[in-house]
A and B are shown apart, each in its own frame.
Chain A
Amino acid sequence: MAYAFRVYESWLMGYRRTWRGSVVSSVLNPVLYLTALGIGLGKLVNRGNALGMPYIEFVAPGMLAVVAMQIGTFESSYPVMASIRWTRQYHAILATPLRIRDIVLGQQMYVASRVGAAAGIYLVALVAFDAIRSPWAVLAWPVAILLCLSFAAPVSAFSAWLTNEEGFNALFRFGITPLFLFSGTFFPLARLPQGIRELAYATPLWHGVDLMRHLTLGTPQLWPALGHVAYMLLWLAVGLRLAERTHTKRLIT
């Protein structure tokens, strides 16, 4: 762990150059989305109060989950490939006592910090938009971090495995975008046909959305909640394992 912190530190050092831009977008994004969805789209989706609650209360945790997924995916895509192929920082690190495992964990710790900050800002914005019903919402913060990592770890494995950046287009187009739309983020899964619904259940995003929604609405139940957490942890654990393997294959030749 101490070794992984050294890698984490170097990511933070790099982040010091770009943090301003990312802070602005993590504040601005929720405000824009919540305004557009809550005021605009919500009127249509929630006609006749079909959801049984104001739309903003429904969509807010979904948006938080989506942001967590996007940060996890993006931060583990190009930056990981760059460190292997373009800036070759991972090669530099491997000339020191640090190991592949430290490289993988250190990068994930950095992603966790990024999402921790962004999700924190988001939750504050949700309070300001009156989109939160319960103090349980505080727990949505660690859930957002876990959800983020359940994407970040397997995506970092994928990025190390890829031989060129074209694979990322496929990942975003066929993986992330459909998930973004069809995981119960903007409308209940029940409105999706069977088959597609099962697909959504299989991804960690839906589990994160469902858990966060229960937390912000104040209706969490112990066993389903634990199930969601366990499922996301599984993706994280398998992702880390695969990441160690693909990084080794790429860097130790």
Chain B
Amino acid sequence: MSDAALIHARGLLKRFGDLTAVDGIDFDVEKGEAFGFLGPNGAGKSSTMRMIACVSPPTGGALSILGLDPLRDGPAIRGRLGVVPQLDTLDNELTVRENLIIYARYFGISRKDARARADELLEFVQLSDRAKDKVEPLSGGMKRRLTIARSLVNDPEVLLLDEPTTGLDPQARHVVWERLFRLKQQGVTLVLTTHYMDEAEQLCDRLVIMDRGRIAEEGSPAELITRLSTREVVEIRFHGDMPEIDAGVFNGQVARVESLADRILLYTDDGDAVVPVVHEKLQPQSVLVRRSSLEDVFLSLTGRTLID
């Protein structure tokens, strides 16, 4: 199994002085899958990504990428990866198209091929009409799409995306998701970090949840939700102080109660059966039944919300 893995990590460790950013994690990314690192800021996701991108030597443990050793074969590995960094590293003073061409040249692609590839990729990320414009005035979503286009110039086998939609408005986010989904269909292996549950649910076949440098759980989004949460969640808000709620009053219908700063969550497989009891026993300001999400999984694992 793990011999065929494109990325293989055992006991992977990264320390910066006294700080342990990645604390001995194991994972395998298989060919063609979309694999996610999910977790709050500081969980060690970006450090892991930088190690995979061969720009951060591991402090300990084993890591192989495409069957190669990142310490010895960094340049060879990087030639087969595409990287979408968390902070855009586009050249603001060049045009959209020039950014792609110069990047293709870094990979040793001939000028003629680089120009053709640039036009093809601009088409793919729907930026053809901006080809001759400078990068600077582009919107955040357009810059992200250009960064994604740039990461594809070398036809990568694995695409690394560090928080690909952070800071984008919902519409721009959906455009990015849709393009990434197309890439996945074309067989590109995606490795991404996110702190958005909906993003992980949208894009990932399999993911690990990271917290404080460790992997807390691993599985498919649906699997994690089934295993670690319930089918539905009832969210209750109150006008004044929040009451203490005992799961017992719901006749075994509520598996778990979670009190947050502004609301109480009831984990249940049948929200509609719980709502009347809530209205009868408590005086809520509002009651909402929703599907359980990865956010709930994270909450049940760590007792904390994802973005706090």
Contact = CB atoms under 8 A, between A and B. Distances in A.
Nearest to A18: B93
Contacts of A27: none
Interface residues of B, number: 30
A94 B103 contact: no
B83 A89 contact: no
Nearest to A17: B93
A216 B107 CA distance: 44
Given A14-B94, A98-B106, A253-B56, A92 B89 contact: yes
A93 interface: yes
Contact of B85 (A14, A91, A252): A91
Interface stretch (A5-13, A111-119, A162-170, A191-199): A5-13
Contact of B81 (A92, A93, A95, A98): A95
Interface in A1-31: 2, 6-7, 9-10, 13-14, 17
A93 B91 contact: no
A251 B55 contact: yes
A92 B103 contact: yes
Interface string B65-93: 00000000011101101010101011111
Given A13-B98, A252-B55, A253-B56, A96 B106 contact: yes
B55 A97 contact: no
B75 A9 contact: no
A133 interface: no
A252 B151 CA distance: 20
B32 interface: no
B102 A97 contact: no
Contact of B102 (A10, A17, A251, A253): A10
B36 to A, nearest CB: 20
B53 interface: yes
Contacts of A14: 91, 93-94
Contact of A97 (B50, B75, B85, B89): B75
A93 B50 CA distance: 14
B56 A97 contact: no
A92 B146 CA distance: 13
Contacts of A98: 75, 106
B108 A97 contact: yes
Interface string A233-253: 000000000000000000111
Contacts of B179: none
B105 interface: yes
A96 B78 contact: yes
Contact of A13 (B57, B75, B94): B94
Given A87-B92, A88-B89, A95 B53 contact: yes
Contacts of B57: 252
A252 B58 CA distance: 11
Contacts of B154: 96
- In order of increasing CB-CB distance, the 7 nearest A-B pairs are A92-B89, A95-B83, A96-B106, A97-B79, A97-B75, A88-B89, A10-B102
